[in-house]
Amino acid sequence: MLPLFPLQLVVFPGEKLNLHIFEPRYKQLMQECESEGITFGIPPHLDGEVMGVGTEMALVQIVKRYESGEMDVRTRGTGIFLLEEFYKQAPNKLYPGGRIARVEIVREGDRKMGGHILSMARSLFHLLGIEKELPPDPDGFSTYDIGHFVGLSQRQEYELLCINEETQRREYLIEHLERLLPVIRETEELKRKARMNGHFKHLIPPDL
């Protein structure tokens, strides 16, 4: 039985997540993570439903405790699981729980595809005016590292989480970015034309 903390977000393996804990059930959970060294799971709660794939999390640090019992904590994603059965309340606990099966993650992927993704991500960030450092080498690149920063919807982030092979995750991001980049370029061109509207134009008529 894995303790569960459903949230309206997708967490990727390796991701660092800071949380403010205020509900009694999750204060109990964090206290047990600290005292017993247990992990917990975050299954995304999307469109009113607890999803069937989630991320196993480890408590890294309780940063601050409040007089009310609330706390600020640092956590980190450690792996992926399939949620086989969900319980709104784990036995003798305040928090939810679930029967799970851990999923093996394949982290090695096609190097050429990784370089292509990084190149497209740089183009996207440039178009949007985003300053974000990307891995310089495709060998050290993971799709999880940029999954939140390339314009995926929450549902698409969940679809990415459900893919356990890195090469397939790279294929997913390439298809997404190849659809997205032309739209962004067209939008930026429309903005540029709108800014120029009303300017005196120096145009050379065609030689008819």
CATH classification of the domain holding 92:
2.30.130.40
202 inside domain: no
Can you give the pLDDT at residue 32? 97
Please check whether residues 99 and 20 belong to one and the same domain. yes
The answer to whether 80 touches 54, Cβ cutoff 8 Å, is yes
Please check whether residues 99 and 115 belong to one and the same domain. no
Can you give the pLDDT at residue 193? 63
Q: Provide the whole-model pTM.
A: 0.86
Domain count across the chain: 2
Residues 9-28 have pLDDT tens digits of 999 999 999 999 999 999 99
* Cβ-defined contacts of 47-53 (< 8 Å, 24+): 50/6, 50/83, 50/86, 51/83, 51/158, 52/82, 52/83, 53/80, 53/81, 53/82, 53/83, 53/103, 53/158, 53/161, 53/162
Query: Which of the listed residues 42, 68, 103 is the one where a domain comes to its end?
Result: 103
Can you give the pLDDT at residue 205? 59
CATH classification of the domain holding 136:
1.20.58
Please check whether residues 190 and 131 belong to one and the same domain. yes
204 inside domain: no
Domain that includes residue 35, residue range: 2-103
Locate the DSSP E strands across the chain. 2-3, 16-21, 40-42, 45-46, 49-50, 53-65, 71-87, 97-103
Can you give the pLDDT at residue 154? 96
Please check whether residues 85 and 126 belong to one and the same domain. no
Can you give the pLDDT at residue 108? 87
Q: Is 76 exposed, middle or buried (0-12, 13-18, 19+ CB in 10 A)?
A: middle
208 inside domain: no
Below-70 pLDDT ranges, the chain: 190-208
